[in-house]
Amino acid sequence: MIGCILIWELFNLIIFWPRPQTSITLTQSHSYPSGHVFVGVCFYLSVSFTILDSTNKLDKKIVAWSIPIILSAMISLSRLYLRAHYPTDVIGGIVIGILWLLTVVLSFDKIEILLIKAESSLKMIFKVRECGIVKDPLERWTLFG
């Protein structure tokens, strides 16, 4: 979530879109992207990915996808209803939130794959050591014991 907030702050530093003049809210921050929508999408979908990772049941998967989508839609519609954002701000918040979350999820998948490979390499090294064969740093196979 910290990365999500930092990305939103970065966008606010780069893009200076003013809020709609008819806004009901009294905030002074920039309009694009909608921070509420962006953080909401990141949070609710990350909870959804966590639930999806821990279950194989179809009914739980449907609930794990529907609740975050409904909550994100409610946040988006409320930002439009309050006229705090233009539709492009809300759409931008959704798209950037999904892209950021996919980046994080795919990064964790890559890290998990690397950890599994490292674990299997360590197991192989210990099996080789048990047999009495060791590969030294100079890339030569030697027999010890």
3-state secondary structure the chain: CHHHHHHHHHHHHHCCCCCCCCCCCCCCCCCCCCHHHHHHHHHHHHHHHHHHHHCCCHHHHHHHHHHHHHHHHHHHHHHHHCCCCCHHHHHHHHHHHHHHHHHHHHHHHHHHHHHHHHHHHHHHHHHHHHHCEEECCCCCEEECC
Whether residue 145 has pLDDT greater than 50: no
Q: HSE-up of 22 (CA within 13 Å, CB side)? A: 6
Six-digit token pair at 79? 């930002």
Strand partners for 142:
134
pLDDT at position 74 is 92
Query: Tens of pLDDT along 3-39?
Result: 777 777 777 777 777 777 776 666 666 777 887 888 8
Q: What is the pLDDT of residue 131?
A: 57
Mean pLDDT of the chain: 76
pLDDT of 134 reads 52
pLDDT in tens, 70-104: 999 999 998 888 888 888 888 988 998 888 888 88
For residue range 110-140, list pLDDT tens digits in order.
777 777 777 776 666 656 555 555 555 554 4
Per the model's pLDDT, the better-predicted residue between 74 and 142 turns out to be 74
Q: Would you state the structure tokens that stand for residue 78, as one six-digit string?
A: 């409320």
pLDDT computed for residue 127 by the predictor: 60
Is pLDDT above 70 for 106?
yes
